[in-house]
Amino acid sequence: MKRTITAATTAVALIVGLSGLPATAAPLPSNSVPSAPLLAQAGWQQFSHSEGKFRVQLPSKPQEDQASDEIDGQPVSLRQFFSRSNTGNYLIVYADLPSSYTEKGSATVLNEMGSVMLMGMGAEVLEQRKQNISLSGNPGVEYRYEAEEGVFVMRLYLVSSRMYLLIGESEANNINQFLSSFQLL
């Protein structure tokens, strides 16, 4: 049974390649991310996507891309938004998952999707940094890696049958700005 979303995994691998995330590292304590949006950083702009039903602050207008894949033999359409600045990279992907897949329950879906993304980018070490989170009452998971060079965070949320994937690689303040500004419409 094919459960992987290769287009999103490819986008994730691109971010990881740019971040310099090591394949192995000792576990680090997880930091909490502020729940309220921070004041906009200089030059950052609000980006809204009505079809995707979200808004977020980004350092630049994102490049949009569409891809298709399959889960359990059913077609899945992915929308990807990539924003880059001189200090970091930010990715948002959303996809409407088949109901036959989401019927497994949010914990199972989030765990499987997280594992697929981590394996696809060769960063299984992040599995040790998994933390359960939520967004407007919807379940999610976060994987965080911190180093001298910066912070890498991957978040997955399941809102009904829609999966949101957020990835940021930058300085801690920029990551917090990006993640805390993400809101559902």
Token representation of residue 154: 């991957």
Q: Which pLDDT tens digit goes with each residue over 148-165?
A: 777 889 999 999 999 999
User: Which residues does residue 158 pair with via DSSP β-bridges, in sequence order?
Assistant: 163
Whether the model clears a pTM of 0.85, i.e. scores above it, the answer is: no
Please give the average per-residue pLDDT across 102-121, as a whole number.
86
Give the rounded percent of residues in the chain with a pLDDT score beyond 70: 73
Residue 68 confidence class, pLDDT cut points 50, 70, 90: confident
- Higher pLDDT: 154 or 32? It is 154
pLDDT at 61 (0 to 100): 94
Q: What pLDDT is recorded for position 20? A: 41
Q: Choose the weakest-confidence range: 35-44, 102-111, 143-152, 157-166.
A: 35-44
d(CA 154, CA 165): 7
Bridge partner list, 80: 65, 93
Between residues 169 and 21, the one the model is more confident about: 169
Chain segment 123-132, per-residue pLDDT in tens:
666 666 789 9
From residue 169, give the alpha-carbon distance in Å to each of 59, 107, 162, 182: 12, 25, 23, 15
More reliable by pLDDT, 73 or 32: 73
Residue 135 banded pLDDT, cuts 50, 70, 90: very high
Average pLDDT, whole number, for the chain?
78
Q: What is the DSSP string of 54-115?
A: EEEEESSPPEEEEEEEEETTEEEEEEEEEEEETTEEEEEEEEE--HHHHTT-HHHHHHHHHH
Portion of the chain with pLDDT greater than 90, in percent: 46
| Contact of 94 with 161, CB cutoff 8 Å | no
Instruction: Tell me the per-residue pLDDT of 5-27, one tens digit each, with 9 for 90 and over.
Output: 444 444 444 444 433 433 333 33
Give the per-residue pLDDT at 72.
80
